[in-house]
Structure 1
């Protein structure tokens, strides 16, 4: 009984819970951004090619996508806590095995396992919020979680560079194992079961497939999910191409590039903070429209200035800052709006949202990265196309959708999160 007691205690409990959920969901940026500067060293140490090293990134993202599709629906059946703890322990083991990898083939395989098991934290962090909050309160919690999680892309490249210089590329994976240990401790002490037995799905693969079918037939859910996923695709296009655009084309040094990358991540974080403060007055849907509109306008301006002015440094960097910052208004609100449509199957809904996000990233990132080695046009074009598709789905598939049940005034079904301000 007492399932929700620890979740809804006032004071520090909610802030601590959001902190550990943000850390659990931050495994992706840490595991992606921290080891990127080590690619040349890994090629030499493992006697392999750049393509094979790049494959370690692709397999991680594919593992992350696949893991969410498996773990999310299973959590609707077995609850959140056990899959979360098991997945995080497995991720720790996989991180250690990555650090010990004797060959590139071993590393590629273990990166898939690391992504698959790490998906537990990513998918279940969203599912827990959907279990315990509704409406604008859920949107605020998602935005706050994104704010905390937004620190990861700022810290990861800088932290990774320092680790690689001192301990080599294997040191990065030992640090990731240490982060996994922190996640296990935090999850064990702070994350209680948020899905009581009476709200769980019946057993069997047939039922799991039926749950997924119901989620996929929900048009507003699909609209908000595709809005989120293609907005994230624009971000991954920027992440994949920015080392070439900012260093090879604009001419920034490695340290200046890290600072510029961090500044853009801070812009996204600041926008998430603003979103969390404004959502109770403006509403998550309106903020999503503003964010997607800004992303679309910024990407269009970026492509124009690159094509017609030859990638001038200051305007290009300013437009990248504006465009990336706009995502702070989209990601938390679109996540909340999507999962609000399928609260009965929060794990499945969270899984499809996350899997689509990282599948598109796994496809777009290497293509944009390779195509944009000597030109900024592929990056800007990919960002514009992704933003345009995001806007199309938002405008055509979410009409009339609301954050049920809070907007109908059914406050009994909305669990508050006191202490989160």
Structure 2
């Protein structure tokens, strides 16, 4: 029989959001903190822009693949042990990046770094699903993404500050320290949210059956793709932004850090608007409107990039609008997708995260192959967000077959293991 207790009070929920935020932020920090140094790394390691972007692809690929492992493991052994182990792997990988003598070894270490960070990326979602459903989950995810959103705001700026007085390899020392901090937070401050009675022994065949059952859920698969294509639009900006704004528009490393931070503010703002929208609307309703608005905004971005209208701000302003609506898509698609899969939330969240970051890994080098300019970045962002909207409206169709449930029940059902 599952033990339950009342929903966490405001203070406990804030602590939970902060701890999960540190764990989730590890991935974005690993991706973004070294972005201002990409041109310098390209020159020092005597490689090409598209090749150096593979170091970004490696991290995103590791984040995706690692989640396929971390999710089922957490369903079997609880959430905390995989989180601590993942942080330890991240620290080791960061130290390997520090001493990597070539782009090939740096790329391999970045894959390992992504594998380590993947535990926090997926298990934060599983913890939220352990505690909440539907609107309650969407609200907490919005708060969590606020904390997570601070990381892309601070990451390039922090990276730029580090580069002002140290070599680009010093960025990986900072990432090792952050990874260590996340492991300590998971070990000491995060309660175990999956009671032993709800755990499922890890067996390969059983895990494959779980994945197979998820793939038979048309709405779930559609929502996973919605989140994945939306993430593709976001990663097109992440992978191409440093080259677009530094090389095409002439910003230095510090100015780019500020520009990237200004862009991420809109993503954060959207998550806070979303938390308020959950008081009046269902997550799938917000998702439907945001998908259309994001595609339209991306179309405007593509037009301004092709015509050169407005110069740098003709690109930057539509990017900010796109990021705002992406900030409405990213918390609601997982909340709706996971709502019907509470019994295997870790496995479901791992598939969701793997597709998100897998698509991101595939997209990262595409911007470079298309030329690392504003048109290339806008083209990939437009393609990703249009695909996201089409999948939502034609395949996922989350408004069908949903039974409304009282908000009080969704917010109050909080099964938590007693330590």
Q: TM-score, normalised by structure 1?
A: 0.90
State the match for 1:236 in structure 2: 235
* Deviation of the 1:167 alpha carbon: 2.4
Alpha carbons of structure 1 residues 392 and 414: separation in structure 2 relative to 1, 3 Å:
farther
In structure 2, distance between residues paired with 1:312 and 1:91: 39
2:377 aligns to what? 379
Which runs of structure 2 are paired with 1:21-420 in the superposition (5 Å)?
Answer: 21-43=20-42, 53-310=52-309, 312-373=311-372, 375-401=373-399, 407=405, 411=409, 415=413
Give, in whole Å, the separation in 1 of the partners of 2:312 and 2:47. Answer: 35
State the distance in 2 between where 1:109 and 1:394 align.
35
Q: By how many angstroms is 1:48 displaced?
A: 5.6
Deviates further, 105-114 or 347-356: 105-114
Q: Is the 8 A contact 1:237 1:369 kept in 2?
A: no
> 2:352 and 2:264 mapped to 1: Cα distance?
22
Which deviates more from structure 2 when the two are superposed, residues 194-203 or residues 22-31?
194-203
Q: Distance in 1 between matches of 2:4 and 2:46?
A: 52
Deviation at 1:88, TM superposition (A): 1.4
Distance in 1 (alpha carbons) for counterparts of 2:280 and 2:401 = 14
Gaps of 5+ in 1: none
| Contact preservation (8 Å) 1:135, 1:403 | no
Q: In structure 2, how many angstroms separate the alpha carbons of the residues matched to 1:334 and 1:84?
A: 23
Distance, in Å, in 1 between the alignment partners of 2:188 and 2:400 is 34
The 1:311–1:242 alpha-carbon spacing in structure 2 relative to 1, beyond 3 Å, is farther
| CA distance in structure 2 between the partners assigned to 1:252 and 1:161 by the alignment | 12
Where structure 2 has 5 or more consecutive residues not aligned to the other structure, the ranges are: none
Contact residue 220 and residue 401 of structure 1 kept, 8 A: no
The separation in 2 between residues aligned to 1:49 and 1:304, in whole angstroms, is 28
Deviations 1:239-296 (A, max 9, x none): 2222333344344444333222211100110111110112121221111122211111
Residues 241 and 372 of structure 1 are in contact (CA less than 8 Å); yes or no, is this contact kept in structure 2?
no
TM-aligned CA distance change 1:355 to 1:190, over 3 Å: same
**Deviation (angstroms), 1:338:** 1.2
Q: 1:47 to 1:322 in 2, by over 3 A?
A: closer
Matched residue count: 415
Deviation of the 1:164 alpha carbon: 2.2
In structure 2, relative to structure 1, the CA distance for the partners of 1:203 and 1:357 (3 Å cut) is closer
Q: Cα RMSD over matched residues?
A: 2.6
Q: How far apart are residue 329 of structure 1 and its match? A: 0.9
Whole-Å separation in 2 of the counterparts to 1:222 and 1:188:
33
Aligned residues of 1:134 and 1:404 also touching (Cα < 8 A): no
Is the CA contact (8 Å cut-off) linking 1:135 and 1:405 kept in structure 2?
no
Q: Deviations 1:94-129 (Å, cap 9, x if unpaired)?
A: 222322334544433222211112111111111110
